[in-house]
């Protein structure tokens, strides 16, 4: 058996080269926030894509609320993710955030409550930004005895709001109950009045580029247009982002960002929900150009 021993100078030389290249090219750090029932392991391929196209980039995926712990209430998760993300926000030219699925909503909460954040590109990867209303294998796993038309009986209660999925469950047939009970998504989207509305809007407007990624073959985000801020009306007809009340009223700054040309939609067919972060075409088409 042959054993190779690597001298200490080689890894230090590699690290020095990577840091030098990063400082010369100017790649901002990238922070990845995972989705429900995920953890850092699911994003190793995405991290490799980033480092292949942007050598020396510091890519961080936090091991926070992994897997079953991702069912914890979102405001609780936001508290810990905010501390972790804030610790990386040291560069004057900013950082990039890539937020997958439920992680997109966590990122919304983090940025709303970080008034001096320096996020340059905020990339939402197949995230239920306008809510979720649909049966999927994820939903059946969490609530096997309920179908979508009855889930509001659980989600729109104080107990239900302690489960992450219920924090963004948006039943279009139970609009008043949603507005009365939602303690996460409705406030974030400015669908209800609250004392933090202006401060959260100002914080959202600090973003330089907002990238919305999704597609009609996702299979989990329902409707899939929720990933680009569209959602059902009471007839379950999809209302696009530009016709949503929170857009027209500019409740949290989305319309203002869009008027600046800072909102990018990237719709890719043929990608299932769990494949977005490992699909090279998605990375090259929708993500790569925004990580400079």
Cβ–Cβ < 8 Å for 57, 84: no
Asked whether residue 115 is domain-assigned, the answer is yes
Cβ–Cβ < 8 Å for 133, 232: yes
Q: What are phi and psi of 267, to 5 degrees?
A: -105, 120
pLDDT at 77: 98
Asked whether residue 273 is domain-assigned, the answer is yes
Q: Which residues are catalytic?
A: 101, 218, 273
Residue whose C-alpha is closest to residue 267's, from 218, 198, 232, 234? 218
Phi-psi region of 135 (alpha: psi -120 to 50; beta: other; left: phi over 0): beta
pLDDT at 91: 72
Which residues are within 8 A (CB) of 283 and not within 5 positions of it... i.e. 6 or more apart? 46, 49
Angle among Cα 135, 136, 142 to the nearest 5 degrees reads 90
Distance between CA 241 and CA 246 in Å, rounded? 9
Provide the 8-state DSSP code for 286: I
Residue whose C-alpha is closest to residue 130's, from 259, 255, 290, 239? 239
Give pLDDT tens digits for 6-24: 223 333 333 334 444 444 4
Give pLDDT tens digits for 149-165: 899 999 999 999 999 99
| Burial letters 255-286, b for 16+ CB under 10 A, else e | bebbeeebbbebebeebebbebbbbeebbeeb
What's the Rg (C-alpha) of the chain? 20
Give me the residues of the chain with pLDDT under 70, please: 1-25, 135-146
CB atoms within 10 A of CB 135: 14
Range of the domain at 201: 28-290
Which residues are within 8 A (CB) of 125 and not within 5 positions of it... i.e. 6 or more apart? 98, 99, 100, 101, 104, 213, 276, 277, 282, 287
- DSSP H helical ranges for the chain: 9-25, 44-53, 74-86, 102-112, 137-142, 152-155, 175-181, 185-188, 197-204, 245-248, 254-259, 280-282
Cβ–Cβ < 8 Å for 198, 223: no
Before 203, cis peptide (omega within 30)?
Answer: no
CATH code where residue 157 lies? 3.40.50.1820
pLDDT at 90: 75
Asked whether residue 21 is domain-assigned, the answer is no
Number of structural domains, the chain?
A: 1
Asked whether residue 175 is domain-assigned, the answer is yes
Half-sphere exposure of 129 (CA within 13 A, CB side): 29
């Amino acid at each position: 058996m042959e054993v190779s021993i690597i001298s200490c100078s080689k890894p230090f030389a590699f690290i020095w080269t990577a840091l030098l290249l990063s400082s010369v090219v100017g790649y901002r750090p990238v922070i990845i926030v995972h989705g429900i029932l995920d953890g850092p392991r699911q994003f190793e391929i995405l991290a490799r894509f980033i480092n292949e196209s942007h050598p020396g980039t510091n890519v961080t995926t936090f091991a926070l609320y992994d897997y079953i712990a991702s069912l914890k209430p979102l405001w609780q998760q936001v508290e810990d993710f905010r501390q972790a993300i804030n610790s990386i926000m040291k560069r004057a030219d900013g950082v990039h955030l890539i937020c997958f699925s439920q992680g997109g909503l966590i990122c919304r909460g983090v940025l709303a409550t970080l008034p001096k954040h320096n996020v340059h590109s905020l990339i939402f990867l197949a995230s239920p930004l306008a809510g979720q209303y649909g049966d999927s294998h994820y939903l059946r796993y969490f609530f096997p005895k309920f179908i979508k038309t009855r889930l509001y009986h659980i989600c729109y209660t104080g107990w239900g709001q302690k489960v992450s999925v219920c924090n963004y469950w948006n039943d279009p047939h139970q609009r008043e109950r949603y507005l009365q009970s939602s303690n996460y998504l409705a406030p974030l989207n400015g669908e209800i009045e609250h004392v933090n509305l202006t401060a959260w809007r100002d914080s959202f407007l600090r973003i330089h580029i907002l990238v919305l990624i999704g597609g009609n073959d996702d299979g989990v985000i329902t409707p899939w247009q929720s990933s680009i801020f569209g959602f059902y009306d009471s007839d379950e007809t999809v209302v696009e982002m530009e016709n949503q009340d929170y857009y027209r009223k500019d409740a949290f700054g989305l319309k203002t960002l869009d008027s600046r040309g800072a909102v990018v939609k990237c719709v890719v067919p043929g990608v299932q929900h769990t494949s977005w972060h490992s699909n090279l075409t998605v990375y090259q088409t929708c993500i790569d150009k925004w990580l400079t």
